[in-house]
Structure 1
Amino acid sequence: MRLACCFFIALFIETGCERSSKLHTPPASSTWEQVLKQARGQTVTIAMWDGDPLVNSYMRDYVASELKQQHDITLRAVGGQGNALVNKLMVDLEAGRTTGDFDVMWINGETFYQLREIKALYGPFTERLPNNQYIDWENPFIAVDFQQPVDGYECPWGNVQLALIYDSEAISEPPRTKEALATWIKRHPGRFTFDNSFTGMTFLKSLLIEFAGGPEALKGPFNDEVYETASTQLWDWVRDVQPYLWREGKTFPEGVAQLHQLFSNDEVDFTMSNNDGEVDNKVLQGVLPKTARGYVLESGTIRNSHYLGIPVNAPHKAAALVLCNFLISPEAQLKKASPEVWGDGTVLSTKLLPEEWKAKFEQIPGRERIAPRSELEKKALMEPVSEIMVRLHADFREKIIEHVSE
């Protein structure tokens, strides 16, 4: 399907997209001051996930205000992510639209792969950004997106790691291995579950990596034999604990928001999040109780980055570059990392930051209920290829959900 999609518009890409890129792009010889001058007075549109009020507030109240004040750029945020972005750009490219509807996109993983395949991304551009100097491109959690090298075609924006969250009032020491977790679940029937959406599948994916043999086992292209062997063990583990899960494992929360609600209502003793900073963030919001604490398994949990991409037909590429540069500035990254603002992990390397910023990032106010990010990174697992997640979703429905009704 991917190859068919790419072939479908391949001939157009070499003509229309190239003309579009030249039409709207500041020349490669431009200095940063010239980029800033070209961007002044422009409106930059970012397509992004808009499902969290704090994320929306960060963009609307802080980023938009600073962009206007510092650079006379107006920020416009619109909803859009994943397949919707890919489909929109495919239609644009096929129709020869050299002026698109947005300038920057919040992307990663499968979306990045598909956009690169159809040559819908402008780049490489990250080295044009002055704040790129603070990003450690030797870090694979930054330089590689779901096993695909970034190569300057997307700018890292945030970095997060899956964390399990437990009630410290009910649990003095949480289980830290898959074996200990299975034992705990059986001893406390009905007090554990996971959602059947992205967060829950990321939890299962973290276990899958251990069943496969550890951090290196699923690196590289998709290997059906390795996946089948490891996933067989994973589904055996799930079926073993399933009768002891919430509602006897006959149903699962539809998303992490519902799982958070079960936790807050004291129906379960665990919840989880793809963002290690969310335990403090959600406590401050009143979504989770003050007794909530976060941790990662001894075998590790998935850590990944989310990125900013610029379409080849972005109408305001100068403003797009300025927006990306601002969003990876120490000021904007520190603001975003604060749990009371967002709690999103920084993509900046403390080793590369000026001295006055290092301590600020190492002691982020409000991060109290989980270990420092530098400690969690020791147990971080890289995202395998996106096919793994697709297979996990399908197999979970077939082998676990449908299995219950048989």
Structure 2
Amino acid sequence: MKFLLDINKLMFFSNHRYTFRSTFLVAGSILILMLAITGCERTANQPELSTDATWEEVLKQARGQTVKMAMWDGDPLINAYIRDYVTPELQQQFGVTLETIGGQGSNLVSKLMVDLEAGRTTGDFDVMWINGETFYQLREMKVLYGPFTERLPNNQYIDWGNPFIAVDFQQPVDGYECPWGNVQLALIYDSEAISEPPRTKEALATWIKQHPGRFTFDNSFTGMTFLKSLLIEFAGGPAALKGPFNDEAYETASTQLWDWVRDVQPFLWREGKTFPEGVAQLHQLFSNDEVDFTMSNNDGEVDNKVLQGVLPKTARGYVLESGTIRNSHYLGIPVNAPHKAAALVLCNFLISPEAQLKKATPEVWGDGTVLSTKLLPEEWKAKFEQIPGRERIAPRSELEKQALMEPVSEIMVRLHADFREKIIEHASE
């Protein structure tokens, strides 16, 4: 029996106005039925990992396995961290070989849907780098292995009391994904051109109008996160958008947001008739002195991009007084992962104090840790409190005071669609 799924109708960034919650509930039901029909056969040489297996048994089964990790591979520092540090450490300490493949967001969702639609209960990868939008979809489809985080020895150090870690886009993690980094949106400006950056949306609008062509934002994830931060302020704060998607609340806040964007649009780079396709292009415009601002979803990126030579030494980062989005990125394991033992070992290593400290260093990555220093052994606590290299933006403990929780995933869908309809298409008229 074969089920045919229209993948295009289930892609995350849909332009349709129906919510994707019900769509993925239907898709999830279909996939569960398919799994029941096709069964859960495993290849003979890869037995299913018992949920009762001790950690010693997990380590024993993982040794000699090759674990494949699907991840965003667009940043050379992140790629180097995985290639030059994680890969050899995993092999040396645990006898596990790590291979990475490109893949993120809707691509991962589509791949898992196709696999399961075809009855492939043994997939092509074991671990995937995911966050809120993707997590929501995969949970609705019931294609995530878990709960598994309680099985990881280093789980004891995770700051689960932090809602920016325990909750992903308004959805409790519940052990179905493992946090491995925490970041906050930051605006980055040229301190040589700007002595004091605008810190409110009103001041920013005034600055844009007084400096035509020197500000813009990308039309991809980072730019939409910037708009989402403004949306929360227009809504009256995070509480106004908390919980399930509320169309009335969204429409009220977004009407004000699009009025703000249209008000400054003629004064944006290229008169707001076009926008950078991604944050990398925005960084390039900033580096070429075509604009005075760029931005990043990682508040630590201002330091590591300067160290890379991508941004000038005069770059400085900050957040708006009304706050910016803060969120975590996670590791998920598909239900059809062929090497679950090795996947658990990889996840556990990536949340170890040594691996978290390594990537928190700006010259390595500058990624925020998900560990609580209060829970760490004393020797590690001191090391985390003295991470060198963060010079061009306030400490994370300061930025947290202006941190905003992610609203539900549907809001990002609507922002993408409305931005194209109300701003981009309007500009071309």
Same fold, TM exceeding 0.5?
yes
Structure 1 residue 12 displacement after superposition: 2.5
The one of 113, 119, 123 aligned to 1:100: 123
Give 1:3's aligned residue: 25
Q: Does the alignment pair 1:215 with 2:231?
A: no
CA contact (8 A) 1:16 1:93 kept: no
Question: What letter matches 2:297 in structure 1?
Answer: N
* Aligned match for 1:334, one of 328, 344, 357: 357
Shift of 1:239: 1.0
Q: Secondary structure at the match of 1:217?
A: helix
- Correspondence for 2:9: none
Cα distance in 2 between the residues matched to 1:27 and 1:397? 48
Deviations 1:49-91 (A, max 9, x none): 1111221111111101001100111111111111221122122
| Structure 1 partner of 2:5 | none
Worse-superposed segment, 83-92 or 381-390 = 83-92
Distance 2:411 2:120 in 1: 34
AA partner of residue 394 (structure 2): A
Query: 1:1-400 residue pairs with structure 2 within 5 A?
Result: 1-14=23-36, 16=38, 24-400=47-423
Letter in 2 for 1:58: Y
SS at match of 2:84: helix
Cα pair distance change 1:15/1:333, threshold 3 Å: farther
Shift of 1:24: 4.1
Q: Is the 8 A contact 1:261 1:287 kept in 2?
A: yes
Q: How far apart are the structure 1 equivalents of 2:231 and 2:42?
A: 43
Moved over 4 A (4+): 14-21
Deviation at 1:97, TM superposition (A): 2.0
Give yes or no for contact 2:238–2:407 (8 Å, CA) kept in 1: no
Q: Is the CA contact (8 Å cut-off) linking 2:24 and 2:141 kept in structure 1?
A: no
Q: Give the aligned residue type for 2:174.
A: D
RMSD of aligned alpha carbons: 1.7
Asked if the contact 2:40/2:121 (under 8 Å) is kept, the reply is no
CA distance in 2, matches of 1:146, 1:18: 31
The C-alpha deviation readout for 1:93-114, integer Å capped at 9, x for no partner, is 2332222111111111121111
2:136 corresponds to which letter in structure 1?
Y
Deviations 1:287-324 (A, max 9, x none): 10001000000110001111101111111111111000
Contact persistence 1:195–1:252 (CA under 8 A):
yes
Residues 271-299 of structure 1: CA deviation (Å, up to 9, x unaligned): 10011010001000001000100000011
CA distance in 2, matches of 1:266, 1:12: 55
Structure 1: tracts of 5 or more residues without a match:
none
Residue 238 of structure 1 aligns to a residue in which SS? helix
Amino-acid identity (%): 86
CA offset digits 1:140-187 (Å, max 9, x no partner): 111111111110000001111100001111111111111111111111
Residue 359 of structure 1 deviates from its aligned partner by: 2.7
Q: Amino acid of the residue matched to residue 137 of structure 1?
A: W
**Structure 1 residue identity aligned to 2:373:** T
**CA–CA distance in structure 1, aligned partners of residues 122 and 32 of structure 2:** 19
- In the alignment, residue 97 of structure 1 is paired with which amino acid? R
The question of whether the paired residues in 2 share the 8 Å contact of 1:24 and 1:313 is answered with no
Q: Aligned partners of 2:143, 2:274: CA distance in 1, in Å?
A: 40
Q: Does the 8 Å CA contact 1:189/1:246 hold for their aligned counterparts?
A: yes
Going from structure 1 to structure 2, the CA distance change for 1:218 and 1:169 (only over 3 Å counts) comes to same
For the residue of structure 1 that corresponds to 2:373, the secondary structure is coil
Cα distance change on mapping 1:230 and 1:313 into 2, 3 Å = same
| Aligned residues between the structures | 406
* Residues 201 and 393 in structure 1, CA contact (< 8 A), matched pair in contact too: yes
Which sits farther off after the overlay, 5-14 or 67-76?
5-14
Distance 2:406 2:187 in 1: 17
> Whole-Å Cα distance in 2 between the matches of residues 94 and 267 of structure 1?
48
Pick which of 155-164 and 187-196 moved more: 187-196
Q: Does the CA contact (< 8 Å) of 2:125 and 2:337 recur in 1?
A: yes
Aligned amino acid, residue 86 of structure 1 = V
The amino acid that maps onto 1:106 is W
